[in-house]
Structure formats: structure tokens, C-alpha cells
């Protein structure tokens, strides 16, 4: 034991750390941290760690090896980031040695691990949309999901839309940069574009506006497309809605990764759900689906407002076989 340290039990340390960080965290971040610290305490108990003063770099390596067998690599990286923050806090309170946090090393991700964890399977999206079409047609959730899947637009773009941006004569929607009126696009004026929805998808949005949209204006006198009782939908509400929609157990009564719903911690605490996905995952999936169906990459680039370089590096999650299948249709036949 280092004599400069002050003894602290792991559970006491976790409680103090969570109490210290709670005021600056959103609810979802706090819930995730509670779960991750719970896992950490389980390991401490199993490893016989009853005083944080005794922790060494080798102990941390053992923790990583123990946890690595239980979860996906990208999930492990995210969880270790919370433990690293905890260890830095613990060093500042004389519970662990200075610099110990930097000895907590995450294993390198295998190729494609990040992409697979931040995408939604097309079949799952289609089941979500089919459920909404049957049971909650033209709701805000339905319009939100339809727009994200059909256009692959960013969360900020979705947040910026007004009723007046609909173009019924073209079954399209106009995405505009209006920083002086409270909404911005990531790429500023370069992000402005019209996006074709098509009759079926446009009708969902139009019926939402006509039948189910809450009639509100924002502080700039604009008529937001997606509204709550308080006015324009907040960006965090868009994220929360995406999380809820991808927790398909609430719709179908079945878990997409075959967990027992009655026993799953995510059923009671959505922050623990491993299958929930945010707006960026919808965007990534929509871009890949467009490519998978043979849409010209240049058209996808302009439609989704993303450069070809970034598109191929960060958004194209097709398998090599899927890429070959699209390319072979462009190859001339040989006699």
C-alpha cells in the first residue's frame, strides 16, 4: 500500500464519484455510469479488492481481460472510458496512485467493430416502420423515423425543419441553414439542399402535419415541423425518441438479441439497453442502404451532404459481398 494514500472501499468510492459527477451529467449519462460502476464493483468483489489504494496496473489489465469476454469490443471501450474518469477522480481524492488511470488500456478494435456497433440492421428499421404504419400511423414518431430512414439527414437538419419546408408539388423537403432564426446546419450554407422523399414517404409526413402535429410556433415565429407541447422538438428529444424506437421489445414484445425481457435490466432502465441506437446510427444505416440498393455514390453524397471520402470511410458499412453485388451490375457481360 502507498502510505500517501487514504484508504477507501470500492463501493464508497463509486458512491462518492457518482454523487460528484451527477450534477453535470444528463440522466442517460448518469444511468450508463451507474451500470458501468456496478460492473466495476462486481469485479472488485470477485478479485478481492477491498481497498482502492491497492489497485495496480496489473489489476486493471485483469479487469479488462475479465470484461472483454462478456461484451463487444466497442462497448468495452465505452465502458472503460467511464472507469478511467473514475480513476482520475480517485487519484485527486488520494484513493489511488496518480497516473493509474492511464494504465487502463482498452484493446484495439477489430476491423469493422465500430461500424457494426453504430448501425441499425435494415430489417429492424423496416419492422419499426411497419409497426408504426399499422399501429401509430402519421404520429410524430412515424414522421421522425420515416424522415431519418428515407433521407439519412443529421439530427440538426431534422431539428431545423419547418412545415413551410415541405414541397408537396415535388414530394420533397427543403433543408435550410437559418442561424439567425435559431437553427443551424452542420455545414452551414453548404448543407442546404432539397431532398426527394417520394409519394409514399411524403404522405406520411403530410398526414402527420394535417392530423397529429401539435400546432406550435417557436420563439422566432416559425412553425417547426416536429413539435412538442413546448414548441420545436429539442435535439435531445430526437435522440431519446430514436433510442425508444430502436428498443423494439416495447413494440413487439421480443428482444432483437434474444434476451429474456422479464429479466433484462434494460427493460427497467433504458440506459442499460444494448440495442438502442441514436440518430447517427439511423443516418449511417440509411446511407449504407442507399448504396446497397445501387444508388450512385455521388447522388448519395449530395443527398446526405457528406463527402465521398467521409462516406466511404465512416458511413459505408456494407459487406464486401454486398459491394460486389452492386458492382457486378455495372460490369459488361463477356461472351
Domain membership of residue 261 (yes or no) is yes
Domain membership of residue 238 (yes or no) is yes
Q: 270: pLDDT confidence band, cut at 50, 70 and 90?
A: low
Domain membership of residue 259 (yes or no) is yes
- Which of 84, 113, 142 lies at the terminal end of a domain, its last residue? 113
What average pLDDT does the structure give for the chain?
87
Give this prediction's pTM: 0.65
- In this structure, are 105 and 131 located in the same domain? no
CA distance 147 to 202: 9
- In this structure, are 133 and 272 located in the same domain? yes
Range picked from 207-216, 269-278, 279-288 for highest mean pLDDT: 207-216
Domain membership of residue 319 (yes or no) is no
Structural contact between residues 163 and 205, judged by C-beta atoms closer than 8 angstroms: no
Structural contact between residues 199 and 169, judged by C-beta atoms closer than 8 angstroms: no
- In this structure, are 97 and 193 located in the same domain? no
Domain total in the chain = 2
Domain membership of residue 37 (yes or no) is yes
Q: Which three cell numbers stand for residue 215?
A: 400546432
Q: Which residues contact 272 (CB under 8 A, 6 or more apart)?
A: 31, 32, 35, 265, 266
- In this structure, are 83 and 161 located in the same domain? no
Q: What is the CATH number of the domain that holds 60?
A: 1.10.150.130
- In this structure, are 71 and 33 located in the same domain? yes
- In this structure, are 34 and 96 located in the same domain? yes
- In this structure, are 144 and 258 located in the same domain? yes
Q: Residue 271: what pLDDT?
A: 59
Q: Which three cell numbers stand for residue 55?
A: 489497485
CA distance 200 to 159: 22
Domain membership of residue 269 (yes or no) is yes
Q: What is the CATH number of the domain that holds 236?
A: 1.10.443
Domain that holds residue 189: 122-279
Q: Is the pLDDT of residue 81 over 90?
A: no
What DSSP line would sit under 130-177, residue for residue? HHHHHHSTT-HHHHHHHHHHHH---HHHHHH-BGGGEEGGGTEEEE--
CA distance 244 to 139: 14
Q: 117: pLDDT confidence band, cut at 50, 70 and 90?
A: very low
CA distance 257 to 72: 13
- Which of 68, 91, 113 lies at the terminal end of a domain, its last residue? 113
3-state secondary structure 12-46: HHHHHHHHHHHHHCCHHHHHHHHHHHHHHHHHHHH
Tens-digit pLDDT profile for residues 281-318: 899 899 989 988 888 889 999 999 998 888 887 777 77
Amino acid at each position: 500500500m502507498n502510505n500517501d494514500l487514504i484508504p477507501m472501499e470500492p463501493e464508497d468510492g463509486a458512491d462518492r464519484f457518482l454523487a460528484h459527477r451527477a450534477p453535470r451529467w444528463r440522466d442517460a449519462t448518469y444511468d450508463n455510469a451507474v451500470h458501468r460502476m456496478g460492473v466495476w464493483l462486481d469485479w472488485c468483489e470477485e478479485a478481492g479488492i477491498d481497498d482502492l489504494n491497492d489497485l495496480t496496473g496489473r489489476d486493471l489489465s485483469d479487469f479488462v481481460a475479465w470484461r472483454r469476454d462478456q461484451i463487444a469490443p466497442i462497448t468495452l471501450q465505452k465502458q472503460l472510458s467511464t472507469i478511467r474518469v473514475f480513476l482520475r477522480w480517485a487519484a485527486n481524492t488520494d484513493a489511488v496512485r496518480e497516473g493509474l488511470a492511464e494504465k487502463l488500456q482498452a484493446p484495439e478494435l477489430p476491423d469493422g467493430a465500430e461500424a457494426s456497433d453504430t448501425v441499425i440492421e435494415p430489417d429492424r428499421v423496416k419492422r419499426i416502420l411497419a409497426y408504426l404504419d399499422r399501429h401509430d400511423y402519421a404520429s410524430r414518431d412515424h414522421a421522425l423515423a420515416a424522415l431519418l430512414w428515407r433521407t439519412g439527414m443529421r439530427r440538426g437538419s431534422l431539428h431545423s425543419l419547418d412545415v413551410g419546408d415541405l414541397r408537396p408539388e415535388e414530394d420533397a423537403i427543403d433543408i435550410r441553414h437559418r442561424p439567425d432564426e435559431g437553427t443551424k446546419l452542420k455545414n452551414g450554407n453548404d448543407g442546404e439542399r432539397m431532398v426527394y422523399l417520394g409519394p409514399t414517404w411524403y404522405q406520411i409526413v403530410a398526414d402527420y402535419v394535417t392530423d397529429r402535429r401539435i400546432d406550435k410556433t417557436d420563439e422566432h415565429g416559425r412553425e417547426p415541423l416536429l413539435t412538442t407541447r413546448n414548441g420545436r422538438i429539442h435535439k435531445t428529444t430526437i435522440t431519446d425518441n430514436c433510442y425508444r424506437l430502436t428498443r423494439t421489445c416495447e413494440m413487439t414484445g421480443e428482444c432483437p438479441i434474444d434476451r429474456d425481457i422479464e429479466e433484462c435490466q434494460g427493460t427497467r432502465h433504458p440506459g442499460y439497453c444494448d440495442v438502442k441506437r441514436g440518430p447517427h446510427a439511423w443516418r449511417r444505416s440509411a446511407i449504407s442502404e442507399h448504396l446497397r440498393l445501387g444508388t450512385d455514390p455521388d447522388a448519395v453524397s449530395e443527398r446526405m451532404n457528406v463527402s465521398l471520402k467521409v462516406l466511404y470511410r465512416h458511413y459505408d458499412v456494407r459487406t464486401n459481398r454486398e459491394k460486389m453485388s452492386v458492382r457486378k451490375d455495372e460490369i459488361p457481360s463477356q461472351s
